[in-house]
Amino acid sequence: MTQTLAVANQKGGVGKTTTCVNLAAALAGNGRRVLLVDMDPQGNATVGAGLDRSAVEATNYELLMGEASAEAVRCTGLSGGFDLLPANGDLTAAEVALTGTGDGREKRLAEALEPIRAGYDHILIDCPPALNVLTVNAFVAADQVLIPIQCEYYALEGLSALLNTIERIRQTVNPALRIEGLVRTMFDGRNNLSNQVGAQLLEHFPGQVYRTQIPRNVRLAEAPSHGLAVLQYDRSSRGAVAYMALASELLNRQQANAATAGGVA
């Protein structure tokens, strides 16, 4: 079964895109079929995947507006080993258009993904730093939410708004939606605050915080300027090792859940 994971946190700059691109590459490196969906008008995941966001022919704008199919928008043959539904500034217009429309506006992404969904083991959706209609579309298309948390002061601020939004979607359009996990990003073990926030998270979300911590690592910040995932840019860096560990932990969790549910992985 396809795992569709929305990577979300309305706080800006917490590592959503970095997690999407590098987790996508790490899962692909494990032989999994992966699709990355860029739902942010900033188009950072598109650039991080190695594309020129101003040169892509069709984007998720056309996809959400029903002007192009997922197959037509999809980019393949990328260096990271995953496929991509790209975005750029045009997506802002889709956000505006959908905010004004009535019923079904939050289901556009879910419906558009349907024809290609079964071709993937994992679909990762990179959300913008807002709880807007684009993020809501991601929550309706997804079955799970992965929340990156930067271990700094104010890290937990805004988390309740995010959890409330997820709960609202669960009670209305997508009862299957659940929180897959929380990932600590830009972690610095020498920093007391990082450790304190990490401990707080473990206390508030027992069993949901990933053991793997993503360290602050300059290679992770450099890789997007080369249009590469860190795995391709510097495989032995601490950042690459951490994202490979995160992918393994995610796959183990998925297997464990399938076993508990009596299903097949």
Footprint of ligand ATP (CB under 6 A): 12-18, 40, 42, 44, 129, 185-186, 214, 216-217, 220-221, 224, 239
Among 9, 19, 22, 44, the residue binding Mg ion under the rule CB under 5 A is: 44
**Residue among 144 and 237 whose Cβ is closer to ligand ATP:** 237
Q: Which of residues 8-27 bind Mg ion (CB under 5 A)?
A: 16-17
In the complex, minimum distance from the CB of residue 16 to Mg ion, in angstroms, rounded to a whole number: 5
Query: Which of Mg ion, ligand ATP, none interacts with 184 (beta carbon under 5 to 8 A by kind)?
Result: none
CA 261 to chain centre: 24
In the complex, minimum distance from the CB of residue 238 to ligand ATP, in angstroms, rounded to a whole number: 9
Query: Which of Mg ion, ligand ATP, none interacts with 32 (beta carbon under 5 to 8 A by kind)?
Result: none
In the complex, minimum distance from the CB of residue 115 to Mg ion, in angstroms, rounded to a whole number: 26
**Residue among 144 and 217 whose Cβ is closer to ligand ATP:** 217
Query: Which of Mg ion, ligand ATP, none interacts with 23 (beta carbon under 5 to 8 A by kind)?
Result: none
**Residue among 135 and 217 whose Cβ is closer to Mg ion:** 135
In the complex, minimum distance from the CB of residue 61 to Mg ion, in angstroms, rounded to a whole number: 17
**Residue among 177 and 220 whose Cβ is closer to ligand ATP:** 220
**Residue among 39 and 251 whose Cβ is closer to Mg ion:** 39
**Residue among 26 and 220 whose Cβ is closer to ligand ATP:** 220
Q: Applying CB under 5 A, what is the total number of residues that bind Mg ion?
A: 3
In the complex, minimum distance from the CB of residue 126 to Mg ion, in angstroms, rounded to a whole number: 6
SS3 annotation, the chain:
CCEEEEECCCCCCCCHHHHHHHHHHHHHHCCCCEEEEECCCCCHHHHHCCCCCCCCCCCHHHHHCCCCCHHHHCECCCCCCCEEECCCCCHHHHHHHHHHCCCCHHHHHHHHHHHHHCCCCEEEEECCCCCCHHHHHHHHHCCEEEEEEECCCCCCCCHHHHHHHHHHHHHCCCCCCEEEEEEEEEECCCCHHHHHHHHHHHHHCCCCEEEEEEECCHHHHHHHHHCCCHHHHCCCCHHHHHHHHHHHHHHHHHHHHHHHCCCCC
**Residue among 119 and 129 whose Cβ is closer to ligand ATP:** 129
In the complex, minimum distance from the CB of residue 153 to ligand ATP, in angstroms, rounded to a whole number: 17
Using CB under 5 A as the binding rule, whether residue 212 contacts Mg ion is answered as no
What is the binding site for Mg ion (CB under 5 A)? Answer: 16-17, 44
